[in-house]
Chain A
Amino acid sequence: MTRTQVRDTRTPAPPPTPRTTPRRRAGVLTESALAAAMLITLVPIAWTVLLAFLPNRAIVNRSWDFPLWIGNFATLLRPGEPFLAQLGNSLLIVLGTTVLCLAIGSVSGYALSRLHPPRWLTAPALGLAGLLPLVPPMTLVPGLYLTLSNLGLLGGPLGLILLNTVFNLPFAVLLMKSYIDQIPEELREAALVDGASEARIFFSVVLPLVRPGLAAVGIFVSIMAWNEFLFGLTMTSGGTSAPLTVGIAALLQPYQVTWGQLAAIGVVAALPIIALAMVANRHIVAGLTAGAVKG
């Protein structure tokens, strides 16, 4: 069998089928393996979305009939439920963290890239910024708790904005620096010769050119802040002062889980981010690959 195939390929006009078949078979295998991987990726997400639209008795039931229902979401919105306050806290934390990281990240990135700051200042700062992602955040909770307590920022969104900012800043600064590094130095020199101030150069020349970097940092930091759990858990007293992730954890009580509500709040926390991942895929890829290196 193999011998005839070899002879086939050596003939001056080989019939195309025996050569393409193995490749096509490999193609089918590739596509089906990918389809399986996508299915495994989607099953936990789809199952959660399904349960979010089921009443609890249908969830606990072993049967496969699904009486769709939006009551879980309605329950979350009932007066007295902390859901809306937690959603507001999460949005506020995302907004504040992203603005701070973009502002500080781009200014510091510019300074590191172009302004030649003294080495005695940058070496320890960059060392610390490189060390921070290696430290399990859990280990810093006691010290951070004291810090926030001294500053009077415990239990509010501002404290969480500052903590989220510091843990995302090393990434934001270094990624912005690498984007600014790619701008030709001649542009800055030309603007300096024309009499532009550093501030003018930063706002009118540099920022417009690093918009992709700002997008990557902004989207990545938003996702990290939206998903953050540990500081929300330890720096607030729960309830209406907590972010959404802590609200989800609060529903996970060992003996009395309201499954439908849990699924519904999970959907609220996951779907906006997944939608963002679909729309802004390119920026998320840039942020994740760079962010994972630093984080």
Chain B
Amino acid sequence: MSPPAAPATDRDSRPPPPVSARATSVLSGSRALSVIALLPFLAFLVVFALYPLAELVRLSVTDTTIVGGAFVSAWAGPANFVTAWTDVAAGRSALITIAFVILCVGVTIVLGLTLALLVDRAVVLAGAARNVLIWPAVVAPVVVSTMWLLLLSPTVGGINKVLASVGLPTQGWLDSEFGAFVSIVVVDVWHWTPVVFLFMFTALRGIDREVLEAARIDGAGEWQIVGRVVLPIIRPAIIAVALVRLVMSIKAFDEMYLLTRGGPGGATNLISLHIRSLFFDQLAFGPAAALSISIVAVTCAVVGGALVARRLRREGGPT
């Protein structure tokens, strides 16, 4: 009985027999050491994560104004949440964000998966593509919007230059509401498809080649192999990357802040931009904080729900 139980006793202070007395004293002393080793990490979290989060909660339940350069707060209860949720501009911004998130997540996943399948099958360009296709993901969002502004701008934009030289009418891509919205989706897709591609490619490379070979020998065509074998195997990876992209697109800020500033007419006013404007232009600290907390709660609920569903599925499944 005792040998199989040995690992379990490890957590109690009872020493496992083969380790020398000196080593055990070090092992038990390591608990204090572990706290010391974690202190810098904990200090950072408390000062720069816990405190601002607490501050956000405090702002959300108080009526805070600037009086003579100092913040003055008075208890406001849930009033800020009511203001935030009934605000028409916030509602429109939320709808735009939902459309943006669905489009960006969907398109980057389809494109990233397609690229991964292509690179996995390619011979000549596989090496070069694996390198080049991730470049957008390492470029700063600020630079990405600069690059796309240089393409989309009505005066100097490369796209209009091409259109003009082949005799087509030029477009003010960022001037119309629809054009601006499509533009920020295109920019986001260009920027972040590489991340999906990397995930999907790693997942594809993890598939046992013998499984694919077996399907091929059984007479399955390429499309059947992808649809019936590959996709079911990498489905957990697809769900994981979908969650990652979901969080990324809810957080999107830099590109739109520079490319469209939320305009024209609020057509690209994503929720992060709206919160910035509440905080810094309108100085509506309470509603801004309430809206922030609501967004964080929704994000946590979606991500947490997906993780719980995955765990339930894994436990409930046959294997």
Determine how close the nearest CB of chain B comes to the CB of A72; give it in whole angstroms. 13
Most chain A beta carbons < 10 A, residue from B44, B293, B300: B44
Stretch at the interface among B20-28, B81-89, B98-106: B20-28
Q: Which residues of B contact A128 (CB under 8 A)?
A: 45, 49-50
Q: Which residues of B contact A163 (CB under 8 A)?
A: 48
Q: Which residues of A contact B299 (CB under 8 A)?
A: 134-135
Stretch at the interface among B72-80, B154-162, B175-183, B207-215: B154-162
Query: Is the pair B156, A259 in contact by a Cβ cutoff of 8 Å?
Result: yes
Q: Which residue of B lies closest to A226 (CB)?
A: B140
- Is A270 among interface residues, defined by CB-CB distance under 8 A? yes
Q: What's the tally of chain B residues with a CB closer than 8 Å to chain A?
A: 100
Known: A35-B125, A249-B142. A142 touches B37 (CB 8 A): no
A141–B130 Cα distance when bound, in Å, is 36
Q: What's the tally of chain A residues with a CB closer than 8 Å to chain B?
A: 95
- Is A183 among interface residues, defined by CB-CB distance under 8 A? no
- Taking Cβ atoms with an 8 Å cutoff, the residues of A that contact B are 26-27, 30-31, 33-35, 37-38, 40-45, 47-48, 51, 59-60, 62, 64, 103-104, 107-108, 110-112, 114-118, 121-122, 125, 128-129, 131-144, 146-147, 162-163, 165-166, 169, 173, 189, 192-193, 195, 197-198, 223, 226-227, 229-230, 245, 248-249, 252, 259, 262-263, 266, 269-270, 273-274, 276-278, 281, 284-285, 288-289, 292-293, 295
Main DSSP-derived SS at the B contact region: helix
A95–B80 Cα distance when bound, in Å, is 41
Q: Given A34, A121, A137, A189, which contacts B119 in the complex, CB threshold below 8 Å?
A: A34
- Is B61 among interface residues, defined by CB-CB distance under 8 A? no
Q: Which residues of B contact A110 (CB under 8 A)?
A: 37
Q: Which residues of B contact A59 (CB under 8 A)?
A: 156
Query: Is the pair B30, A115 in contact by a Cβ cutoff of 8 Å?
Result: yes
Query: Is the pair A41, B54 in contact by a Cβ cutoff of 8 Å?
Result: no
Q: Given B26, B142, B194, which contacts A192 in the complex, CB threshold below 8 Å?
A: B26
Query: Is the pair B125, A34 in contact by a Cβ cutoff of 8 Å?
Result: yes
A144–B51 Cα distance when bound, in Å, is 8
